[in-house]
């Protein structure tokens, strides 16, 4: 990489990450700033440190593996964890360098959405169902994606509607989409 290439990578206005087997190998300043870490604290660490829980990390890894194997690319908006345990919404985009081994080597972008979407106190499953509702998926599609029953999706959706005091799915999606 030329000095100019390195400078461009490091000063990009979006968080950039290169990972191997979900371990942080290379990243730019914006990535470190988004998550609130110094460079030395991130190098060689597992991406697990950036997730709300170990369970979120495991579920996301399984989902990424399926998506990257099938399409070679991945995109979503999810809740991540900054240094000090503050949760925030983040837009994540990824590209496998080898579709046959999707997590072995991957390139990722991260955009902090906290200014537009605040985090509400939701359970992990409520966050998952809510994120997929915002993406426009039906209860059956969400059930398949999360490997749960459509009835369970409806239970979580009903809880979310009660929590946000809304009467229908459209109002719920508006509330969820405006959350940090």
3-state DSSP assignment of residue 171: helix
Structure tokens at 130: 């809510």
Same structural domain, 129 and 60: no
Query: What's the domain range around 80?
Result: 3-112
Same structural domain, 96 and 137: no
pLDDT averaged per 10 residues, the chain (length 180)? 90 96 97 96 96 88 87 86 89 93 94 78 84 89 93 92 81 72
48 burial via Cβ count (<10 Å: 0-12, 13-18, 19+): middle
Same structural domain, 138 and 107: no
So what's the pLDDT on residue 86?
A: 87
The residue to which tokens 């994606």 are assigned: 145
| Tally of domains in the chain | 2
Same structural domain, 107 and 129: no
User: What CATH number corresponds to the domain at position 9?
Assistant: 3.30.450.20
172 burial via Cβ count (<10 Å: 0-12, 13-18, 19+): buried
Same structural domain, 72 and 136: no
Please state the pTM of the whole predicted model: 0.69
């Amino acid at each position: 990489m030329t000095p100019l290439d390195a400078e461009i990578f490091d000063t990009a206005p979006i968080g950039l990450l290169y990972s191997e087997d979900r371990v942080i190998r290379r990243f730019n300043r914006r990535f470190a700033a988004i998550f609130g870490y110094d460079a030395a604290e991130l190098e060689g660490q597992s991406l697990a440190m950036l997730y709300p829980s170990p369970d979120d990390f495991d579920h996301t890894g399984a989902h990424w593996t399926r998506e990257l194997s099938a399409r070679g690319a991945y995109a979503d908006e999810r809740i991540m964890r900054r240094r000090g345990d503050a949760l925030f919404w983040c837009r994540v985009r990824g590209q496998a360098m080898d579709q046959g081994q999707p997590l072995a080597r991957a390139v990722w972008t991260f955009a902090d959405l906290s200014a537009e979407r605040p985090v509400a106190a939701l359970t992990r499953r409520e966050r998952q169902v809510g994120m997929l509702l915002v993406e426009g998926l039906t209860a059956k599609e969400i059930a398949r994606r999360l490997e749960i029953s459509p009835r369970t999706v409806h239970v979580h959706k009903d809880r979310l509607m009660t929590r946000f005091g809304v009467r229908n799915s459209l109002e719920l999606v508006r509330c969820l989409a405006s959350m940090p």
